[in-house]
Amino acid sequence: MDRPPSILMLDPPEHTRLRKLVQRTFTPRSIEKMRHITTEIVEDLLDQLAEKKDIDLIEDFSFVVPFVVIHSMLGLPDADMLNVREWSQTLVQTLEPNISPEQVDAAIWGGTQLNEYLTEALAWKRNKPGDDLLSDLIAVEEGGDGLSEQELISMISLLFVAGHETTVNLIGNGTHSLLNSPDQFELVLNDPSIDSTIADELLRFDSPVQNSGRQLLEDMELSGVHVEAGELVLTALGSANRDPRFWGDSAHLLDVKRQDASRHVSFGSGVHYCLGAALAKMEGEIAITRLIRRFPEISITEEPTFNSRIILRGREKFPINLGVPVNLN
């Protein structure tokens, strides 16, 4: 695959150029439009799940919401959700510090499948433009400098994969945190004022992306340690989010009313600050609050397992019972 690297891996000025182009389509208006669509997606899904009662929170809910949202936001053609999930899971495995030769082979296979799907999607969208992100990205022009075909594929691929492989952990980890904190669970049920702070606090408390990394461009002094240009530095986002030197004595406590929760670093910082932060927070807030308010009896039936990832750390199997739904209409 001779695809250009994703913006995550680029430095300015290449990064600045591509980020500016994509940011022009990722506007507050496009996110606001998705709030309404996300609410519908979540409500429809909850209607379907009410029939089942015993579900796997990750497979049936936490994965489905962000997948359907980013799929619809991009305006991609219909696809088998589980196939695409398998491809993107093999790809994100390459973010992990330790991967086996088999996982490298699987990632090459997954990348090729995803590339083919997105190349076809792009050709299809050129003939069938709509009111969606993919059409906007195709149309985007800045001083005549649009995205090339390969840059487009690389960008959509990142948006698509980053759009669901991370948010699945916000919804899964976040729901787990609340189910283990009865007092906070009660607040979600009874106090709508927490809607503005809940996503940030859940992102802080159990970070969906635990680490990011940087290769230094120049020598630096980091916490009294001299680090030379070219060396790799791992930033422990999850650890910073629980650091009592910053958060004080309550760092280890879940507090969905925490007023400065948005100071967490779960979305990174600097030029690579997460492009989808507002979208992810909106999805997390709607998915989790609606799930709990519709199913106040929700309970864990078996302790969840982890997905064995260090970076995109989250639950993999999470069996729950929804209990009797409350009719909110």
Question: Binding string, 201-240, against ligand HEM, x = CB under 6 A?
Answer: -------xx--x----------------------------
Residue entry with tokens 């083919």: 116
Return the range that interacts with ligand HEM (CB under 6 A); candidates 41-49, 104-112, 155-163, 314-322. Answer: 155-163
Does residue 279 belong to the site contacting ligand HEM (CB under 6 A)?
A: yes
Residues 249-278 binding ligand HEM (CB under 6 A) are 266-268, 272, 274-276
Q: Count Cβ atoms below 10 Å from residue 223 Cβ, excluding itself.
A: 5
Count how many Cα atoms sit within 13 Å of the Cα of residue 59 in the half-sphere of its side chain.
12
- Residue 4, classified by CB atoms within 10 Å of its CB into exposed (0-12), middle (13-18) or buried (19+), is middle
Cβ atoms of 200 and 264 within 8 Å: the answer is: yes
H/E stretch holding 107 reads helix 101-127
Hey, which residues between 64 and 83 contact ligand HEM (CB under 6 A)? 70
**Residue 167 in the binding site for ligand HEM (CB under 6 A):** yes
In the bound state, the residue with its beta carbon closest to ligand HEM is: 276
Of 159, 187, 198, 202, the residue at the interface with ligand HEM (CB under 6 A) is: 159
309 is a contact residue toward ligand HEM (CB under 6 A): no
Residue closer to ligand HEM (CB basis): 104 or 233: 233
How far is 325 from 45, CA to CA, in rounded Å?
13
Q: Does 170 engage in binding with ligand HEM (CB under 6 A)?
A: yes
Please, what's the b/e burial string for 119-156 (b: 16 or more CB within 10 A of its CB; e: otherwise)?
eebbeebeeeeeebbbbbbbebeeeeeebeeebbbbbb
Binding to ligand HEM by residue 296, rule CB under 6 A?
Answer: no
Q: Helix, strand or coil for residue 320? A: strand
Residue 17 interacts with ligand HEM (CB under 6 A): yes or no: no
Footprint of ligand HEM on this chain (CB under 6 A)?
7-8, 19, 70, 158-159, 162-163, 166-167, 170, 208-209, 212, 266-268, 272, 274-276, 279-280
